[in-house]
Amino acid sequence: MNEKLLEQGRKAREAARFLSTASTSLKNEALIAMARALKEGSDEILAANAVDMENGKKQGLTAALLDRLLLTQQRIEDMADGVESVASLPDPVGEVIKMWRRPNGLQVGRMRVPLGVVGIIYESRPNVTADAASLCLKTGNAIILRGGEEAINSNRVIARICAEAVKSCNIPPGAIQFVDSEDREVVVDLMRMSDYLDVLIPRGGPGLKKVVQDNASVPVIMTGMGNCHTYVDEFADLDMAVDITINAKTQRPSVCNATETLLVHEKIAAEFLPTAAAGLLERGVELRGCEKTRQILPEIKAAADEDWSTEYLDLILAIRVVDSIEEAMSHIHQYGTGHTEAIITRDYNNSRQFLAGVDAAAVFVNTSTRFTDGFQFGFGAEMGISTQKLHARGPMGLEELTTIKFIIYGNGQLRS
């Protein structure tokens, strides 16, 4: 186990103890100091980012990845504004969710409290550093950040600026810490630091997920794997279905809530598919269809079996014609990742059957899968989108960064 990391763990635990009872005013003051320091430090951040960008180009990162890595004056201001907006959100810590009285007079309640120490492993976008640090600070958690190697220079500066700002408000320095190492062994050590980490949130692709599953001994919240489907029912409003399909696929194809497979009921396939395909092709989407789809759209590529389980994150859409809502739902359960699934229908019973029967973090009627997002849900913040069932499922806001403790007010009750 890496000694420096263990020391960070100890400092984080100490800071978490302090933060667990820190006042909302103090936490907000620190958030505002962080926002100010990020704006003031923008030159330094841009200089560090330029080094990352240069390394990235040398290493041949794709244009999309370079864009995720790039910081500009505007992006730094957006990042700082994001931190400031977290200050204005309600503090969930200390909320007594429910309190009830037992026959013996005990008053039993559930109180929301911080998780403690949160670890996060993330890739690419350096703004995650400030986002995650601000959400954890607001919820009274200490955070240990481990960003991607490609962004290490940007992340290092952003984390230092945030940590210094927080320290200037007399919050212990363990509150925000950055794992400044390119050694991959350290990542595995982080996953096994059960004594110091209350939860680890990996944000990345299937590679990271596998490493975490194989190595983690700390509790984990898995995020972001999204093989999402839109199912156009036989009773769909077809104009609406075309608009939603195009939005779900093309509005931002690189993210986890974009639709990857379109399921179409055979009764409306001949009418729906040509219009939908025209709109999609016009926006540069490559279509890959099942046999029945290609009878209607003979010009498109055939979908292979692996297409059904691929999260393209790109302008590619797989299309399958199904003979019933049941077939649509079993396709979703066979190939989906339990992220977001949508039905387009005017039929009352089918909408209810789909909502009740589909097992996913988010199940929608008559809207775009792209809406699975903390900001779109009204949380005002997002720490990632959980695709597991334990603790948090779907977009994680501030509440998902807390746990509860039971409190009891007694006056001498004994158990008999």
189 within 8 A of 50, measured Cβ to Cβ: no
List the beta bridge partners of residue 301. Answer: 288
> Which structure tokens are listed for 386?
């959980």
- For a copy of itself, the closer CB: 33 or 401: 401
Smallest gap, in angstroms, from Cβ of residue 139 to a copy of itself?
12
Smallest gap, in angstroms, from Cβ of residue 197 to a copy of itself?
11
Is 391 a binder of a copy of itself (CB under 8 A)?
yes
Is 416 a binder of a copy of itself (CB under 8 A)?
yes
Tell me how many residues contact a copy of itself (CB under 8 A): 68
Coil, strand or helix: which one is 108?
strand
Candidate segments 48-56, 131-139, 227-235, 403-411, binder of a copy of itself by CB under 8 A: 403-411
> Which structure tokens are listed for 210?
């596998």
Rounded to an integer, what distance in angstroms lies between the CA atom of residue 142 and that of residue 133?
A: 8
Is 331 a binder of a copy of itself (CB under 8 A)?
no
Smallest gap, in angstroms, from Cβ of residue 211 to a copy of itself?
11
Smallest gap, in angstroms, from Cβ of residue 371 to a copy of itself?
6
Rounded to an integer, what distance in angstroms lies between the CA atom of residue 16 and that of residue 2?
A: 21
Which residue reads 């907006």 in tokens?
85
List the beta bridge partners of residue 374. Answer: none
The site map against a copy of itself for 202-241 (x = CB under 8 A) is -----------xx--x-xxx---------------x--x-
- For a copy of itself, the closer CB: 310 or 403: 403
Rounded to an integer, what distance in angstroms lies between the CA atom of residue 324 and that of residue 261?
A: 16
Candidate segments 23-31, 33-41, 84-92, 103-111, binder of a copy of itself by CB under 8 A: 103-111
Residue whose C-alpha is closest to residue 41's, from 124, 164, 134: 164
83 within 8 A of 35, measured Cβ to Cβ: yes
- For a copy of itself, the closer CB: 156 or 393: 393
Pairing label, strands 385-386, 301-302: unpaired
Q: Which of 50, 108, 281, 315 binds a copy of itself (CB under 8 A)?
A: 108
229 within 8 A of 331, measured Cβ to Cβ: yes
Candidate segments 32-40, 76-84, 145-153, 367-375, binder of a copy of itself by CB under 8 A: 367-375
Write down the H helix ranges in 259-302: 266-282, 291-296
Coil, strand or helix: which one is 245?
helix
- For a copy of itself, the closer CB: 168 or 213: 213
- For a copy of itself, the closer CB: 58 or 405: 405
- For a copy of itself, the closer CB: 21 or 170: 21
Amino acid at 76: I
123 within 8 A of 152, measured Cβ to Cβ: no
Q: Contact positions toward a copy of itself, by CB under 8 A?
A: 17, 20-21, 94, 100, 102, 106, 108, 111, 113, 115-116, 194, 198-199, 213-214, 217, 219-221, 237, 240, 243-244, 247, 251, 333, 355-357, 359-368, 370-372, 376-378, 388-391, 393-395, 403-416
